[in-house]
Structure 1
Amino acid sequence: MSDLEQTAATGGDATQHTAQALRTASQAILSHATMGTATHAQLVRSPANTRKQPRDLRELKALVRAHGILQNLVCYAERRDGVPTGLLAVAAGDGRWQVVGQLIAEGDLPEDYQLPYLLVGEDEAVLVSLAENLGRAPMHAADIFDAMRALAAQGRGVADIALAFGVGELTVRQRLKLANVAPRLFELYRRDRASYEQMAALAVSDDHAAQLAAWDSLSDWERQPQRLRRLLTQHCVAVGQDRVARYVGVKAYQQAGGLVTRDLFSTQEQGYIDDVALLDRLAHARLERLGARLHKEGWRWIEVRCRVDAAALAAYGRVRTEALTPNAEQAARLAQLQERAVQLREQLDASAEEGEEDGAALRELAAVEVEQRQLRAALQRPDRADLALAGALVTVDDKGKACVLRGLIPPQDRPQGAAGAAAEGKAKARVRGPHSARLTAALTGQRTLALRAELVRQPEVALRVLAHHLLRQVFYAARGGRVVQLDVKPPQLPPEAEDGAAWTCWQTQRAALAALLPEDGGSAGLMAWLAAQPRTIVDDCIAFCTACTIDGVQQDERTPPAVTELARTVGLDMRKWWQPTAQAYFAHVPKAHLLAVVAQATSPAHAVPLERMGKQAAAEAAARALADSGWLPPVLAEPETESVGTAATEEGDVDE
């Protein structure tokens, strides 16, 4: 066995030793090699080149265009059947030779451009090529960022640097931003003790002291990019997420002298608003103009608040209604509708037991229920005493639009024992639809798991949810439905819900937190452990335990307002957590509904072939048709924003 073969077989540092041995051997070869220059046409590719894997030459091409060939090629005199061809074969530097050819074809280099080369013997070409390529390590990204910063310091523009490195101008700006991170933290990145994502999060701020404070305040495992970014922007609001920022708009805010911290590493590149007070003043001024138009409606009071959350709204009362006595004609019609509704429900129950669906009965029942609601609404009128106290609140809704909430009663004026609270507590009739009670429970179980997982990811939201629940218990007698159960008895989920992305994420979150907790779970031991933890760990504990109490499972397809509000608060998008597969959905709904969903979500033409299939085959075909479509059943879809007052937002009320 040769020295090189023996070194390669030893393992460990074999590659390093092999490269050293090759370089030593190549030195003897290079001692008699000669230097020269040749045009691109005088060179050909050699089979002796040891780099066979294709690679991206765009960056190399940009460097050659900007600076020319800085390193020589290694060549030998080509022979065919022992006869010299007069050409030189490139054993090392094939990439450089290729990009020179491309630049000549594009007119960036002349045809007689001279490439420097080192001439060796043909039998030595493979060894020299291997010596040049083996062990060549790419530059660390930190070194590249430093190089770009050095060029910028010399007065080079972003466009020039981008051209020199063969990258986009945004990439150059990002790398220059990264190179400006606090030197101690940038050195950690250079030594691979910090990640690119962490550096990108730190670069959201140019304040080195703030960057260091954020980094040092967290332990190693806590330094997730999103947490670092949150610490550095906690005094700001995100343009794309804050409702008031969406309402005012970045352009108006900047025209008023406001500053926006740009995050070059965000996909939306929307940045953060620094002066929240200025933003709120601009929003308040616009809302004041809208409120001025409401005086003609005769409300007792009009209040403008650009920021109002569910807890604040819960303090207001609502105008009660009183029922009117129906006349003979109205009473007779209501009795007819009720009798017909009972008959239709019995007919539908019988069809369901036989495994069939009575579409005509479903449509008629829906029409009957609509007419019932219309008649009952006509028999309600606002309480005059409440109207004398009521006013309108002008604010900004979740979608960043101005809205008016009418018919609100201030906390100090709200009547005791409001009829609305009593009515809210009454059991509501089940909404009939294509989903059975069991399927609805499974779907809402998936939503419950997704809500929990999202809440764990957002400790600051979990604290608000917990505070909201406690305040309602202490100050507002917990009127309305509850979604948080403070005694922390995790609600029982349907077995069908314990599958999928949300369940997997929830179990992962639980395992991660359990690994941190002390073995001694006694009150004293746990309290001592909590006292020694940073605030972020305590926040994570509160977030997870609060999430454990979430109970959004239901058998009725009407989503409770408390669940809707929580879903909006955490920004829940069920498309990230649930897909309409055959097993999870289509196998459990009537075939007629399956066909209607496919026709609606894709096109009627896609639903036609499914009509001739059996139920299981149709369910699987429907799942394939809707894969990655983003379709959700209504019980999981984001509900439309509703006005909290007696009247919804009207088009004329929006000051745009």
Structure 2
Amino acid sequence: MTIEYMSLKTLSIAPENMRKTAAESDLGELIASISAEGLLQNLVGYRDGDDTVAITAGGRRLRALNALAADKSSKAFRATMKIPVDIRDRAELHPEISLAENVHRLATHPMDEFEAFARLVEAGRSAEEVAARFGTTVRHVEGRLALGRLCDEVREAYRAGDITLDVAKAFTLSSSHEAQRSALATLRNTHSYGRTSRVVREMLITDQLPPHNRLVQYVGIEAYLAAGGSVTRDLFSSTDQEVAALTDGALVQKLATDKLAQDARALADEGWKWIETSLQPVDHAQLARYTRLHPRPMPLSDAAAAELAMLTEALEALRAEWAATAEGASDDDAEAVAKVEAFEQREAELEGAIDAIEQCQVGYPVPERARAGVVVSVDYAGDLVAVRGLVRPEDDGAVETTGRTPVTTDGRDSPERAAEKAAGYTLALQQDLAAYRQQVLKAAVATAPEVALDLVIYTMVTALVSRVGYRRSPFGASFTQTYERVELKDLDSTAAAAELDRIEAGIPFLVELPKDPVALFDAVRALEPDAKGALLAWCVSKCLTVGLPTAQGTAQRIVERIGSILKVDVAAWWRPTRARYFERVKKDHLLEILGDCGLDAVARQVAKEKKPAIVNGVAAVFDPSTRPTVLTEAQSLALDTWLPPGMAFGPAASEAETGAEGESPVPEEPVAAVAAE
């Protein structure tokens, strides 16, 4: 090895150097290091001519030196300065030398770097000075300092691989070593999947509100800051504005209260008799105090109808014009791209205007609004929820509410409602279970023409025969299709959805309907009785409204009666899973489920576990693919047939019945069920 000092301007990158892609943006730290400490390691190369040397190892150092020489503010670096180079014969310098230099580097552990930054500041240097010395930002240095100043236990846990870097960063939200140690001890007693940065954050900012808090989401961080609120910021976020926590919970509460009152005032123009507000999510028990009115189709005003026709015509013309001009347009043509963007913007404007008018076609008549009200609340996601059409008992003289009720005559919860409370049902879970239940009953009614016809006649009688009195029906007399929605968005993949698709595909009449109304009517008349019955059942099923048994009123009693007549086996159509049910209920309820399925010993064994572990275990035994083979046949059967409270269709006898009499004239044949998904 021969070290010679060569002029910087005579050095160039050799073709043998493995770094073919120059990452100039990554040279900042290296430039700062060479500027402060000089070149600590010589370069390696060979003579490429009388006065030039090609560098095979040290390409980044050479680029950093050239950058310093080009910087007029760096007085100590010039193109003529002498650089130490290990001059070798070109035949000796295989590409492997450059590769070896880059591959066989042993990087320092990140925690060693963090502690070194902390020692520099402790020695008297400012964060700004350290940032300038290493060619990085002050915020980057502050983050490294915070990590280097963590308590010994957290730093060692990161070194040992017990926690990830993201988790270590979360510990910096508190400067208290005692708080860090306490959080680490709790974290170590948590299952591995629970050792996340979010868990650590929540433990260290217990007296503050995280950004995902529902009231924070409702108010908005910008509004909170504008009102003078203070925050704890995250040193490791992608932007300087990342908020780790809000420190003034009382201010958030006040802002949420004021905003909710303002949002409620905006509903006053709709003409409701009363409006109630609640910062808490609406509880099912709260809604159960009222009779629920549902929106109806409403006629448009002449002006709105004319505007809707005009907008629809404009949208059709726009699409026709686009179809005629878009063919052959190139994505590389800037003018064509601009036209596409203009078309899409105009299309969205027209569609939005049409949607706004169409939404006015469903609403509440003035007399109903005059006796009903709205409950306005903030849900678990921080969104405003307005539940309209609620009638208080004192305003509900014309509405019959006998049957299953959530409260008994002595003021206590009914057994059904008590079971829901014990399980920890939220309003969202109740709504989801009702949606699954509605989909299942639709699939059952769609194959039962006799029951469908009975329901149509019943609805007509209650609507047209005045001496019967007002009776709500689960079947919309205006033939309004009902829809199901659940948080998991899995309704399209359920067994009931597959059955409904199969039924629809098996009705040839629906493939191509006559457009002329008289021709359509004649086509219906021409159907064979069986085909007409199948069509009737399918149509009726599309209009069903189904809730849980605790829902109030006659309509729900009829739903339960239909389910009983058809002997709907919900367990054959729908099964609870982690996402659908288990992770959304209380821990005690999960243990009860195990007991109900003959797994009392397992329930006692896991009773002291954290809820996430119990959720995993319950989900595993309910899933036949992961169920332990040691279970008995009786236990497996119990797991395959267990249903959440309120999901099964039980007996719903009429008030006149005292025994087994009064059976429906419809033959009670079980509905064929497909295998559960």
Q: Give the TM bin, normalised by the shorter chain.
A: 0.3 to 0.5
Normalising by structure 2, we get a TM-score of 0.47
TM-score by length of 1: 0.48
